[in-house]
A and B are shown apart, each in its own frame.
Chain A
Amino acid sequence: MAREIGVYGKGGIGKSTIVSNTSAAIAEKGAKVMQIGCDPKADSTNSLLDGRYIPTILDTVLEADTVREFRSVDVSKVIFEGYRGIICAECGGPDPGIGCAGRGIITAIELMKEQGAFEKVNPDYVLYDVLGDVVCGGFAMPLRQGIAKQVYIVVSANFASLYAANNLCKAIVRFGERGGGKLAGLIANHISTPEEKEIVNEFAAMTKTEVIEYIPYSRELARSDLQGQTVIQSAPDSEIADVFRRLAAKIAEREQQIIPAPVQAPELRKWGQSCLERLQASGIKE
């Protein structure tokens, strides 16, 4: 049975970077990994593919001329093998500002399921890299019953990202209670100071979960990402590569699946204010 993991978090927080690097670190250990980008941008897997952007599942259905063809397009055409045999797929979706991207994610994942794409690959891990907030039911698809069982939320010490994480917790409460995905933990990104660490820890405590790894700001990581590679591939001996190896090992072991306790918005804001003051006192501009 594959371990199915969904990674959520505010837009631009570093989800795709973290998911790809983690996939690479898991694959390095010899496990079979599948990474699915659930974002119309379709840029999740490109650092596993030497910067290549692959055609998407929804691109292929666009080629269908009839409704019947639509549901029987061959999705295997758009499933690619990347770094260390990681299986890469992108859901894709409409151009910005048109159509219904959420419905697109639903359809793309349904198509892969219908066609047995997962059975064919038979992966040990499936990682879903999902767009920003859960904006509508479509983006919650990987949370629903039978898809991602464990959810990690990427956060930083930035209040907006914690606010988004709190909202995601609400979605997890909804689906978790029905047997859908549950929260496995938080991954903290861009953590450079003790204050920042403290803030994400406090948030974790408030919502009854834990931060499983702290990823510092890393120029190496940013550069590598831009070049279309993971640090596992481009700088295997770097410190940051080890951070991802540690993260991968924790994810591999971690069994926790909880229903988090989201905080009421006013309370969260009040707490956010106190964080800001703390950060300012320590001389960091938030």
Chain B
Amino acid sequence: MKKLPLEEKVAPIRERRTGAIRAYMGTARQLLADIKSGKLKACDRAFTNTWTCSSSIMAGPIRMATVSDGVVIMHSPMGCISNLSQFLAPGLQPHEETKQDQGGYTPNQPATYYCSNLTEEEVIFGAEKKLRETIIVADKRHHPKSIWIFTSCVSGIMGDDIEGVVKETQAEVGATIVPIRCEAFQSRICQWGHDSAGHAILKYLVKKPEKKRNDMINMMASTAVWAEDRIHLAELLGKVGIQCNTVPDYAVTESFRILSEAACSVALCPTWSDYLGKGLEQEYGIPYVRDILPLGTARTEQWLRKIAVHCGKEEEMEQLIKEERAAVMPRIEALRKQWQGMKVFVSCGITRSLHLPHMLVNDFGMELVGINPFEFDEEAIVDLENLLKLTGGKDFLVHVSDCQTLEMANYIKKLDVDLFLGHRGSVGFIFKHGVPGLRVGVAYGSRHGLRRDMDSGRQMGFSGVLSYARYLDNVIKNPSFSEKLSAHTRLPFKESWYEQDPTVNMVDPL
């Protein structure tokens, strides 16, 4: 593993650190061969349907605004914070349970975030003073434990000395200041924002361990992993006396500080935690578990066993696994009979596209016809290899794309898919093509992660398999939604597009 340069101010961009790509069309085997031989071609786009900002979205103002005793400052013109306003405008409404679990976010407590609101004058003369003042005001008003500063393209071009301001100001405020340097234009891989956050957390927040705790693990999951799952897994592990220190969403500042004391770190979203997990391993020797996610019964078992080894709870864990399995397996067997051979396509972030098939294939007996991960990199090679093992060596389509609906539309009907599971960015579009499917992880409607009814959005762990099955059952039994929708929708593409090669816009890295 390459050493993470924690002495630097900025995390290396993902393209460089993990060889990440954002476009590919081929099969799993082809992709693996291309990556291993270093002959990847056409792995970027000359035309793109969608894009997002590494800093204002991915680095995580949205995420860190959920840290209940923290304040977010976006050092940017106003527009860069608009994403956050849209997500969080109504105020945070975490579960009661989330609140208990993670340390005290009061229901309806508004997210606290500032934007330094850079003006033309400040762009010319520098805005270090304003940033400093914003930090001091935020500290005075809210007495937070942490202040998270996010940089932007503009602050990067002007070259404000963010770390210098932090150094100068830290002594004057009670909060720990965490500057996240992420100038969005630097990388073509927006997930680089996650690394920027991890880099800063490791540099500014994580403390030297006071003790090593065998009874605590770090559970790393972004909002994309629903609260239902995080809470369920924490309860499960709690049964054998293992506590979960969950970051980043709805965590408290202290959760980040004690990351160095855990028995191991587990990734519920390997894309998010890649940098932080590896950094903790590098700096504090904390084992990082990323290849196995608790999606599907077999994988949940493996996952629990792995954790048990790190915590010295093997026996208790075996007992727990036995009990949990016994409760769900008969029902899963029955489902498998119904769904055997159903052709499924999964389009989502790496977590689900590379790990959810373990449940779909192994537990439900479905057949994987393709996946559509948002990005792909060297870290994910092992995940793809595991998927090939899962399908018994049967190859499948890999389309690396972040909801590039234009490209997906082109091939989805030709693929013969019975069930499409996709992110909200693409799934509606696929329905309109008459392909039955569901949003990959959210039950009925409401905002993910922040829902009130507990187990409807659960996917992970043993019982997650059952609740997810319930969720899938609706559309499998009754696919009329996509049928009706497609019958009454005019699609925006010309017929000729469907005859064309979907990779026309894919080019060698820009």
A residues at B contact (CB < 8 Å): 58, 61-62, 64, 67, 70-71, 93-94, 98-101, 103-104, 107
User: Can you list 7 A-B contacts (CB < 8 A)?
Assistant: A58-B124, A62-B125, A98-B160, A99-B125, A100-B157, A103-B124, A107-B124
C-alpha gap A262/B451 in the complex (Å): 64
Among B120, B123, B161, chain A packs the most CB atoms within 10 A around the CB of B120
List the 7 closest A-B pairs by CB distance, nearest first. A99-B126, A98-B126, A104-B124, A100-B158, A99-B125, A94-B125, A103-B124
Q: A70-B120, A98-B125 are in contact. List 20 more A-B contacts (CB 8 A).
A: A61-B124, A62-B125, A64-B121, A67-B121, A70-B119, A94-B125, A94-B126, A98-B160, A98-B161, A99-B122, A99-B124, A100-B123, A100-B124, A101-B124, A103-B123, A103-B124, A103-B158, A104-B125, A107-B120, A107-B124
Q: Is the CB of A100 within 8 A of B121?
A: no
Contacting residues of chain B (185-209) with chain A, CB-CB under 8 angstroms: none
Query: Chain A: which residue is nearest B161 at the CB level?
Result: A98
C-alpha gap A61/B125 in the complex (Å): 11
CB distance from B269 to the nearest CB of A (A): 37
C-alpha gap A101/B159 in the complex (Å): 11
Query: Chain B: which residue is nearest A92 at the CB level?
Result: B124
Q: Is the CB of B158 within 8 A of A99?
A: yes
Residues on the A chain within 8 Å of B418, using CB? none
- Interface 0/1 of B142-159, CB less than 8 Å to A: 000000000000000111
C-alpha gap A101/B158 in the complex (Å): 9
Q: Is the CB of A70 within 8 A of B128?
A: no
CB distance from A262 to the nearest CB of B (A): 26
CB distance from A70 to the nearest CB of B (A): 5
C-alpha gap A71/B157 in the complex (Å): 22
- What is the number of residues of chain B that contact chain A, defined by CB distance less than 8 Å? 15
Residues on the B chain within 8 Å of A99, using CB? 122-127, 158
C-alpha gap A58/B125 in the complex (Å): 9
Residues on the A chain within 8 Å of B157, using CB? 100
CB distance from A98 to the nearest CB of B (A): 4
Query: Chain B: which residue is nearest A110 at the CB level?
Result: B120
Residues on the B chain within 8 Å of A104, using CB? 124-125
Q: Is the CB of B123 within 8 A of A61?
A: no
Judged by DSSP, the binding face of B is helix
Residues on the B chain within 8 Å of A98, using CB? 125-126, 128, 159-161
CB distance from A105 to the nearest CB of B (A): 9
- Interface 0/1 of B117-137, CB less than 8 Å to A: 001111111111000000000
CB distance from A18 to the nearest CB of B (A): 27
- What total count of A-B pairs have CB within 8 Å? 46
C-alpha gap A159/B43 in the complex (Å): 44
Residues on the B chain within 8 Å of A71, using CB? 120
C-alpha gap A107/B157 in the complex (Å): 16
C-alpha gap A261/B159 in the complex (Å): 33
Partner of A62 from B121, B123, B158, B161 at Cβ < 8 Å? B121
Among B121, B122, B124, B161, chain A packs the most CB atoms within 10 A around the CB of B124
C-alpha gap A103/B160 in the complex (Å): 14
Query: Chain A: which residue is nearest B122 at the CB level?
Result: A99
Residues on the A chain within 8 Å of B128, using CB? 98
C-alpha gap A67/B78 in the complex (Å): 13
Q: Is the CB of B124 within 8 A of A94?
A: yes
Residues on the A chain within 8 Å of B123, using CB? 99-100, 103
C-alpha gap A98/B157 in the complex (Å): 11
C-alpha gap A93/B159 in the complex (Å): 15
Among A58, A98, A103, chain B packs the most CB atoms within 10 A around the CB of A98
Q: Is the CB of B124 within 8 A of A67?
A: no
C-alpha gap A143/B119 in the complex (Å): 25
Residues on the B chain within 8 Å of A93, using CB? 124
Contacting residues of chain B (6-61) with chain A, CB-CB under 8 angstroms: none
Contacting residues of chain B (92-127) with chain A, CB-CB under 8 angstroms: 119-127
Query: Chain B: which residue is nearest A70 at the CB level?
Result: B121
Residues on the B chain within 8 Å of A70, using CB? 119-121
Q: Is the CB of A100 within 8 A of B120?
A: no
C-alpha gap A62/B124 in the complex (Å): 10
Residues on the B chain within 8 Å of A103, using CB? 120, 123-124, 158
Contacts A62-B125, A94-B125, A99-B125; A67 near B158 (Cβ below 8 A): no
C-alpha gap A94/B124 in the complex (Å): 7
Contacts A99-B158, A100-B157, A100-B158; A67 near B125 (Cβ below 8 A): no
CB distance from A100 to the nearest CB of B (A): 4
C-alpha gap A101/B121 in the complex (Å): 11
C-alpha gap A98/B126 in the complex (Å): 5
C-alpha gap A100/B157 in the complex (Å): 8
C-alpha gap A93/B126 in the complex (Å): 10
Residues on the B chain within 8 Å of A94, using CB? 124-126
C-alpha gap A64/B121 in the complex (Å): 9
C-alpha gap A100/B122 in the complex (Å): 9
Query: Chain A: which residue is nearest B158 at the CB level?
Result: A100
C-alpha gap A100/B159 in the complex (Å): 8
Query: Chain B: which residue is nearest A64 at the CB level?
Result: B121
